[in-house]
Amino acid sequence: MKVPVIRQFFENSTPEQLNATLEVLEAFCEFRGVSDAEVDLAGEMITNICGALEVHESVNGGLEPREALNAFSAKVMGSIDR
């Protein structure tokens, strides 16, 4: 997870665009000829896209974008510390 990447996805993409990209990356990971390194990279992108989607949901729920990003980051860091 990289917060700067999540911020860029949030600021520059609609939830619809992010969901479409997510579907393509998930399908890509299922191809037989995909290497482990490619799956790892796609997995990192999927993680960041899911983060951006969660930030979009928080902003739609009334949070300011900066607060939504900080809350998402704190939530992830909190789950890692457990």
Q: 36-78 pLDDT, tens per residue?
A: 999 999 999 999 999 999 999 999 999 999 999 999 988 887 6
Q: What is the predicted pLDDT for the residue at 1?
A: 82
pTM of the model: 0.88
Task: Compute the Cα dihedral for 48, 4, 56, 21 and give only its sign.
Answer: negative
State the pLDDT confidence band at 80, using cuts at 50, 70 and 90. low
Q: How far is CA 18 from CA 3, 32, 78, 81, 82, in A?
A: 16, 24, 25, 28, 29
In contact, 57 and 36? CB cutoff 8 Å: no
Q: 3-21 pLDDT, tens per residue?
A: 999 999 999 999 999 999 9
Residue 31, pLDDT above cutoff 70 = yes
